[in-house]
Structure 1
Amino acid sequence: MHIGSPAMDTRTPGGGMKAVEVPSRRFGKYIVRSRLGQGGQAEVFLAEAVDANGEVLRVALKLMRPGSAEEKFADEADLMGLLSHPNLVGMLEHGVAFNRPYIAMEFLLGGDLGEVMAAHRRSMQPFPAGMGVHVCLEVLKALAYFHRATTKTGTPLDLVHSDVNPANVFFAGDGEVKLGDFGVASSSHVDIGPPQGMAAGKLSYLSPEQTRGERLSPASDLWAVGVMLHELVVGYHPFQRDGASDEQIIASIRNPKLSIPDYVGKPLISILQRALSPDLKTRFRTAGEFAGPLYGYALDTGVLATRAQMREWLGNVLEIVG
């Protein structure tokens, strides 16, 4: 069974706010319009096709680079074929055209969280705390499903995403939040993902056990959500500093010394401290265990965002990003 793919540095399905224009060309039934992202193993394009009703369908088309491992690319397509959840980027189809394997995914107009965070920094506007909490709750919904995913016969996969970070969190035009890019997902029951002992994912979001090449669990993904939550509600990354070397970042991850300002509030500080505990016995073990106190905090403080508020906020953000 093929499930998984090599690490990639690409913003797969998200909103082409920084798309690079390329000459329009046909790829199978798709017409390629612009490049959305690229990595060592694949490149992703905004493409269009005509559906069965004659309507134009926009997709994020992920094409394997020539010379890449075709089996690994097929693994990712197989995994996406097993997954179906409102908070996960969905695959429309996969196949081969002109001897290049491809995965057609839903195109998400709102881009990715990394772009949105950068836009707020450029405009010197703080990221709204309520929206930050909402985004993390939606990612936790995605992970709750992902960690419990099974094969079609019901066998648990025990998946770990391994690369949760803002560049892999996407926004649909209606305000939905979706987690994507399953290229380095690992499983304790299926032979997928990077070799044992090899860390994969974005360095500054790796958990302490990932930096040591140890066996991963859902707690590793929850650590990464904790890092994102810290960025969104505190206003800066807990471990990444300007000019810091990779070795310094790894050292701060393995021995975190959190200093969270009082303006964050004691309930949220407590949640962050547990989410970013280097001790697996102390850290949140499941997405639900993390989401419970975070949802309670949102209710108690009145910051829980509605879908309508998300749509309005995202519309304003897209104007900022331009």
Structure 2
Amino acid sequence: MSSAVGTPGPARRLVAQAGLLDAETAGADVAPAIARDEVASACAAISVLRHVATYTYQVPITRMEHRLVVIPRRVHGDQRRIEHRFRVLVDEARDPTLLHTGTDAFGNTVVDIHAHGVDDRISFETTAVLSRVLGEPGPRWHHGAVDPRTALTSPGAALSRAARDTDGPGGDTDRARRVMARVAEHVAYGKGATGVRTTAAEAWDMGRGVCQDMAHVMIAMCTELGIPARYASGHLVGEGASHAWVEVLDAATGAVTAFDPTHDRVTDLRYVTVAVGRDYSDVSPTAGTVWADAASGGRLEIRKEFRVVSVGMRKREEEHDAANG
């Protein structure tokens, strides 16, 4: 399912299929996914996200307070949240849980949950329909509003030295591209070696980590070089877990570019941004506290599907036209 996209501006927007959100919530596959290679060469896309986080407990929970950052931002540069639905389910039934939806200091959508009397399981289900059109203005960035240094992105001596050795001529975007390549070269992807409290300096010294570690390392190096950088959390087509990358502000041009050091590339329509912050702790998808009458070990299970269901192919058409005179 693809449609041609013509001139720049609002006319380039694709139209989401009617009833797509309802169908996704019901689990009906009414819109098959577009192949990843086709998405990568497109200039506009409609995508669907369904994310379910389920906590299972060994004993009944008397009280729960939870913070969720799982709903994609309403507007983020060329990304628009067309519609979304958020549900709390306990034992597969709608629960009259008290929840409040607002925004944090970074403009992210945050849901605060207050639940009582959870027997053994509670689920948080997010469904969203999103659109992206390449070439539209990038994300807004109020640089300097917060201190970019955090415990997770402090570089340490070895990482600071590596940042300076990597730096060279050019604007912030070109310099950040070199940093990304250096991170991808030095830090090998591997699960189990790091955790949510692993710092950028520790990940660099180990030379191993997951996407959040590589994002922290790149942010630390960019900050060391005076390049504004921030953490981005979201999803990538074809990957089961959430993903992390880095947004960089070019101070001279005002342009914001998203770099994915895990894959050593600039992001494209295969990505959807949920939240931005200084590091992982600002945008952790799920965090909270539970109370019980006895010790309770909890288990978190994430089920996610993110797929692109419609694309505009203006890029490919223009290349074909140019090749044929």
TM-score (norm 2): 0.27
* Rg comparison, structure with higher value: 2
- Name which structure has the greater RCO, CA cutoff 8 Å, separation 6+: 2
